[in-house]
Amino acid sequence: MLSSLSRLAAGTVAVLALSAGAVTAVPAAAQPSPSRWTAAQGQVSARVELTGGSLTLAVVRGGRTVLAPAAVGLHTAEVDLSTGLRVVDVDRRTVVERYRMTTGKRLERSARMSELRLALRGAGDAAMDLVVRVARDGVAYRYELPAPLTVTGEASAFTLPADAPAWLLPYNSYYEQNRVATTAAGAAAGDFGNPSLFQVGEDFALLTESDVDGRYSGSRLRHAAGSPTYQVVLADAEVTARRTPWRTAIVGDLATVTESTLVDDLASPSRVRDTSWVRPGKVAWSWLSDHPSPSDFARQKDFVDFAARNNWYAVLVDEGWSAEWVPELVRYARARGVEILLWFHWNRLDTAEERDTTLPLVKSWGVRGVKLDFMESDSQARYQWYDAVLAKTAELELMVNFHGSTIPHGLARTWPHIMTMEAVRGAENYPLPANNPVQAFTRNVVGSMDYTPVSLDTGIHRASIAHEVALAVVYESGWQHFADMPEAYERRPEALRYLNQLPTAWDETQLVAGHPGSGAVFARRGGDRWFLGAIASGEARTVTAPLRFLGPGRWLVEVVRDGEEPRGDLVRSARVLTNRDTLAIDVPSDGGFAAVACRARPGRSTCYLPPRHVPASALSVTPAGEVDVAKGEAVEVTAVFSADREVRDVRLAPVVPEGWSVHGREVTRHRLPAGEELRGRWTVRVGQGSAEGYVDLPVVATFDAAGWPDRVHVEEAVRLFVPPPPLNGTPFVSEVPFVTETNGWGPVERDRSVGESDAGDGNPLTIDGVVYDRGLGTHAPANVTVYLGQRCSRFTALLGLDDETSEPGSVAFQVVGDGEPLFDSGVLRPGPALPVDLDVTGVRMLSLRVTDGGDNKNFDHADWAEARLTC
């Protein structure tokens, strides 16, 4: 009797195909014992046993039991599929897949797995398949159902020897605790996060899960005091599903575990057909080292200039950026060959409407990727959000960094525009160097890790400079966000020169030496160069690195190590070696070193490649100032472009919003010599359905430049203002369209207090016990601009701090007309509302501003109660 789930019939012969993503079958083996089944690849085998209606699974490597028999089964609201089971059919096949990643420890992947499928029946003839896959680097299993059932839990568990050393992560939903070294049975009672590492004699087992998405719930491992068993526990009390993720054990020696791609091998294939727009790379990140800087346009330009000088891919603008200047920053950066990435709190994108408006907007600015933060949940609902936001960002060709997130579960294979995920106690938590080695053997095994390494002047200064620099090799991340400021790197030119050489996606990775408790030495190949990173924790010592990973022949090996000055620059030395040699480097306490190796040849003195830069260019546009253009009206736009060296295939044209029209053709030039100008002139007409307010009309020059891999994008914008309908009567400001809006926390609220970070979550406007029906709820620092069009004569309001805060704040209210100050309240604290009545005759733009009172923005909920205009 065959299972109700589709499968190859026993005895079917299929040709072993090796095409990308192919799933293939081989002849079934002879029917095994009715109560015990085995699947194997290389030294690793899985043994499934049915005893008294209950299933167990054990993992063996080289004849040694690594995972003892532990329960397998599924609990559902409809039927218990963990007991009373019988096997009605057995199927075997070999799964062979080849695929390419955009990030990771190895770009080209090849997986070969033996699959055992047991068709099971339980009470009432309820059906379930247990699918087991075995690879040379581990074992995984999942449950599949013929129809959705309400899963209330799993019997799934893993059992280790009681005294097995363990490196465990006390669970929280954002995976940022310090790992603890313990034993399987000696660990504290409670929940531990994936992945969890255990040592069983000469073997290691890393327990985790793969292929988790919105069809199921995330999980963790629960441990009872004194028990060697770890139970899989779901984040949700129940979840309706037809299949589960893969319960995964990566098994082998330390090299096998750290080099494993099993989690990705088990994941669903890519849903993105064309990945040519996906770019890993080095990223300058200012938030940790210069916390106010994400709100400072000029300071972000410093980071852009630094990235351009050093050929880093992008700048991440973290919490605090403003829509008022980000488009201009993007234009500034792209002209210099640098991309801009933007930070978002995940709840800014937690609805389809927000995703459909916010993401296309930042895409229209030229932003290349987003950092999404504070998801902090393994629930099915949050995984469904991951699914939705990944689908939308893929559609828009926006790359993604998940921060405050779950761990990777093979997501970067399914969605190759995921560049990295956090789920680690990274540099922003100032971890001690003793916590650094274990991350390479645990968290980073399962996917790119946004640790934000290389803190030189920021942080606690416990690890040596060479240790910090080596982290950029030891830790893999498709986007490697470096944690310090430009000045810190430029004070150490040898350290910076080494960082500038590093790829962030690798052709090959090998563990050279190390142990979770003491240190790690990794070699990673990018093209024809090998990079070596070594970190140690604890006392000063000699760290050795056998060079067996190098190919035959002679290699030039350049080493950077700590100098005599503890926080000073690195020292670089070079020598010719072979793969029979071993590097032996003396390192200080919590020290390390890094190296690069390339083929030695006559006349070659360095492996370092010169940095690449885009041509310096100039693009000027007219009109140069802000221009009012009503719907249906036209404006003439001109542009002049030139570059300081020859560029090719130049294209120059305006990019108009949907519904607008442009008269005039794109200007092109096959070859534009250095210094020669390319000019264009166009008539642009505003669409009748145009949005009102400020509209940036970009004029874009794109071109190819010798030595630069991508097409260069240079853009300047004509600043237009499309006026809203004229104001009449005595409208409340909460009824008037906002031209611009910024707020210190959440959006500005109309006729409510600011509340929390979501729109519409405020309370009635209340100042000193008095409730007001109309007004604006803001949080310092805030700025709301409305268009008066010189049609209004008076502005009145009652100003004060809202009563909703639990602790008192302090703010200052300011009113500005066309850039000129009209009113300043001075610092206000909780108390009665302050009335304001101002003459605004002749004012075109009125700005209502709130500052933090000089003592930070905490509790600064500021109300413009009964704010009204006379027009």
Residues 450/427, Cβ–Cβ less than 8 Å = no
**Pairing relation of β-strands 165-170 and 157-159?**
unpaired
Question: Do 75 and 190 have their domain in common?
Answer: yes
Is residue 743 assigned to a domain? yes
Residue with tokens 């470096």: 482
The answer on pLDDT for 22 being more than 50 is no
Is residue 440 assigned to a domain? no
- Please name the residue ranges forming H helices in 415-464: 436-441
**Cα–Cα dist 404/450, whole Å:** 10
Question: Do 737 and 708 have their domain in common?
Answer: no
Q: What is the mean pLDDT of the chain?
A: 94
**Cα–Cα dist 146/127, whole Å:** 7
Per residue in 565-610, pLDDT tens? Answer: 989 999 999 999 999 999 999 999 999 999 999 999 999 999 999 9
**Average pLDDT for 652-666:** 95
Is residue 804 assigned to a domain? yes
Q: Where are the beta strands (DSSP E) in 353-423?
A: 369-373, 399-402, 418-421
**Average pLDDT for 263-281:** 97
Handedness of CA 754, 755, 759, 763 (dihedral sign): negative
Question: Do 152 and 180 have their domain in common?
Answer: yes
Per residue in 850-865, pLDDT tens? Answer: 999 888 888 899 999 9
> How many helices (H) does the chain have, and how many strands (E)?
11, 55
Residue 805 confidence (pLDDT): 87
| Residue 206 belongs to domain with CATH number | 2.70.98.10
The answer on pLDDT for 788 being more than 60 is yes
Fill in the DSSP letter of residue 791.
Answer: -
- Helical (H) or strand (E) element with 469: helix 465-474
Q: For residue 510, what are the contacts with CB-CB under 8 A and spacing of at least 6?
A: 255, 259, 522, 523, 524, 549
Query: What are residue 709's DSSP bridge partners?
Result: none
Residue 367 confidence (pLDDT): 98
For the ranges 53-57, 91-95, 486-490, 693-697, which has the lowest average pLDDT?
Answer: 693-697
Number of domains in the chain: 3
Per residue in 434-488, pLDDT tens? Answer: 999 999 999 999 999 999 999 999 999 999 999 999 999 999 999 999 999 999 9
Question: Do 226 and 97 have their domain in common?
Answer: yes
Question: Which of 236, 265, 294 marks a domain boundary?
Answer: 265
Question: Which of 671, 691, 722 marks a domain boundary?
Answer: 722
| Residue 705 belongs to domain with CATH number | 2.60.40.10
**pLDDT over 70 percentage in the chain:** 96
**Cα–Cα dist 772/620, whole Å:** 49
The answer on pLDDT for 821 being more than 50 is yes
Residue 445 confidence (pLDDT): 98
Residues 182/170, Cβ–Cβ less than 8 Å = no
Question: Do 775 and 700 have their domain in common?
Answer: no
**Cα–Cα dist 776/865, whole Å:** 6
Per residue in 731-763, pLDDT tens? Answer: 999 999 999 998 988 899 999 999 987 888 999
Q: How confident is the model at residue 663 (pLDDT cuts 50, 70, 90)?
A: very high
Question: Do 666 and 773 have their domain in common?
Answer: no
Question: Do 748 and 685 have their domain in common?
Answer: no
The answer on pLDDT for 127 being more than 60 is yes
Provide the CA 677 distance to its chain's centre, in angstroms.
41
Question: Do 241 and 162 have their domain in common?
Answer: yes
Query: What are residue 124's DSSP bridge partners?
Result: none
Is residue 781 assigned to a domain? yes
**pLDDT over 90 percentage in the chain:** 92
- Paired tokens of 460: 């606690």
Residue 683 confidence (pLDDT): 97
Question: Do 846 and 742 have their domain in common?
Answer: yes
Q: How many residues in the chain? A: 871
Residue 34 confidence (pLDDT): 55
For the ranges 31-35, 51-55, 154-158, 813-817, which has the lowest average pLDDT?
Answer: 31-35
| Residue 822 belongs to domain with CATH number | 2.60.120.1060
Per residue in 136-161, pLDDT tens? Answer: 999 999 999 999 999 999 999 999 99
Phi, psi of 649 (to 5 degrees): 50, 55
**Pairing relation of β-strands 529-536 and 80-81?**
unpaired
Buried b or exposed e, range 368-387, using 16+ CB within 10 angstroms: bbbbbbebebbbbebbebbb
Is residue 558 assigned to a domain? no
**Average pLDDT for 6-21:** 32
Residue 7 confidence (pLDDT): 32
Question: Do 86 and 232 have their domain in common?
Answer: yes
Is residue 185 assigned to a domain? yes
Residue 768 confidence (pLDDT): 96
- Helical (H) or strand (E) element with 474: helix 465-474
Is residue 681 assigned to a domain? yes
Residue 89 confidence (pLDDT): 96
Between 20 and 81, residue with greater pLDDT: 81
**Nearest by Cα to 523 from 258, 845, 746, 342:** 258
Question: Which of 722, 748, 768 marks a domain boundary?
Answer: 722
Q: Where are the beta strands (DSSP E) in 382-518?
A: 399-402, 418-421, 479-482, 508-515
Question: Do 757 and 652 have their domain in common?
Answer: no
Residue positions annotated with a catalytic role: 373, 428
Per residue in 529-574, pLDDT tens? Answer: 999 999 999 999 999 999 999 999 999 999 999 999 989 999 999 9
Question: Do 705 and 759 have their domain in common?
Answer: no
Per residue in 404-442, pLDDT tens? Answer: 999 999 999 999 999 999 999 999 999 999 999 999 999
Domain of residue 674 covers 617-722
Is residue 426 assigned to a domain? no
- Please name the residue ranges forming H helices in 510-615: none
